[in-house]
Amino acid sequence: MRKLIIWLVLAVSALTTACTVGPDFKRPAPPATDSTARVSNGDDIAADWYGVFHSEALNGLIRQALANSPDLAAARHSLEAAQYELRATSGSTLPQIDVTGQVGRDHANGSLLYGPVNELNVTGNRFMLGPSLAYNLDLFGGIRRSVEAQRAATSSVRDQVLDTYITLVDQVTINAFNYAATRAQIEVTQTLVEKLNAQYQLTERLEQAGKSIRSDTLLARTQLKNVAATIPGLERQRDAYRNALAQLTGVTPDNFHMPELSLRDFSLPAAIPDSVPSVLVQHRPDILAAEDNLHQASARIGVARAARFPSITLSAQYAQQTTAINDFLTRPGSVWSVGADLAAPLFHGGTLSAREQEAKEQYLQSQEMYRKTVIAAFVEVANSLQAIEHDRDAYVATTEALESARANSDLAHLQFRSGRFTELQVLTAEQQYQQAALTQVQADVQRFTDIATLFRALGGGWWNSRSQL
């Protein structure tokens, strides 16, 4: 036991002088830019940023999705599994202590020195039980770098959970907007069908009275049926958005309760949140994941480099042995051993050197992937900001176009009744009005969608959440 203590003292001494080979990871600096991504003065992004649209129905759908989504639940379980894997990997830095036992029956047949043949003929039982210890000193930090790599991998899984979270919120929000927009398009089309039907009935009466020709009646009927035929397609889109919301909230379409959603229920936020590059790279889950992948690649260089250096493993074992199991407590024999195993690579055909170079190239690859991810994030934010700017102009233009088309349609009906317009001119005016009304709905929903996309591009506000994601 005194020797065992000496070996442990030497182990501690070796650990205090051990080094960790390989590069120490440093977080990449944020992009060098003087610009600030902002539209107007706003506050930091709240975790429930979707509340800026002031729709309780939307808020309820998102709460239901966050509570029941299979994707989010699966992502959380993957994070828990990664955390257990990190614990398991971290355990390799500590001494490994086991209990070993043996039960056997041995037979010896032979002779003692200068003795007669078969003088020794013994058969007996053998029992042994005792602890054993093994400890890798990790002189060059290969194990520590492995733990570092696993810690980065676990952090990357957490980033994936965050991405699943903000993507889920974004998808519910946009599908809700699209559902409401499709309902609005159906309402517009149904209103037009009613007007066209009234126009068709009027044309029929005029034909019967001899004031209109048959072709005008057929033209009015054709226009009515063509517009009515677009409603089933819109209803199919509406149902698809409804079923998508059911899936996102974790229920089947049959069990899903769809709240009443209308574009009139949503309002635009008064201000857009600010974001600067140094903040964006700290919040976007895809950037954080790319950074963690870079960290993991850096640690693997140290693992590959440490494999080229010697390793020392301390071992100790103590056991009680006897030929009768009841003698363990009365007359046990004992054996013990203490030692150190040294393994140093001499010739591996260039394998170890190639592994280290491979790890370096993978690190450089991760660097470029990180840079690509950051650039893509800034492009997405810029696209969202520019889209919001253009949405304002588009909405004003479509609103003016709708007002003109409505006035033209009303005028065409009056002129037709006075005999100054033909049926074709009336139907053309109605077509223009329908197209303007549908375009105005699309421009309206596009404003909400682009703002939601901006919140998503800026990171989704997960860092302000009080709950564990």
Please check whether residue 233 lies inside any domain of the structure. yes
Count of CB atoms within 10 A of residue 238's CB? 19
Residue 433 lies in a domain: yes
Given a contact cutoff of 8 angstroms between Cβ atoms, the answer to whether 35 and 366 are in contact is no
325 within a domain of the structure (yes/no) = no
Q: 53, 162, 140: which is closest to 450 by C-alpha?
A: 53
Can you give the residue range of the structural domain that contains 201? Answer: 22-95+139-309+351-464
Neighbours of 269 (CB within 10 A): 16
Counting the structural domains of the chain, the total is 1
Any domain includes 334: no
323 part of a folded domain? no
The tens place of each residue's pLDDT in the chain, 469 residues long, gives 455 545 554 555 455 455 889 899 998 887 766 544 443 434 578 888 999 999 999 999 999 999 999 999 999 999 999 999 999 999 999 999 999 888 888 877 766 666 676 667 778 888 888 899 999 999 999 999 999 999 999 999 999 999 999 999 999 999 999 999 999 999 988 988 888 888 788 878 877 877 778 887 888 888 889 889 999 999 999 999 999 999 999 999 999 999 988 888 898 888 777 666 667 788 899 999 999 999 999 999 999 999 999 999 999 998 888 877 777 666 667 888 999 999 999 999 999 999 999 999 999 999 999 999 999 999 999 899 899 989 888 888 888 887 888 888 888 878 877 777 776 777 788 778 888 888 888 888 899 999 999 999 999 888 888 765 6
Amino acid, res. 147: V
Separation between Cα atoms, residue 322 and residue 125, nearest integer Å:
8
- What is d(CA 442, CA 440) in angstroms, rounded to the nearest whole number? 5
For residue 120, tell me if it sits in a domain: no
Within a domain: residue 248? Answer: yes
**Domain membership flag for residue 401:** yes
Radius of gyration of the chain (CA): 38
CATH number of domain containing 367: 1.20.1600.10
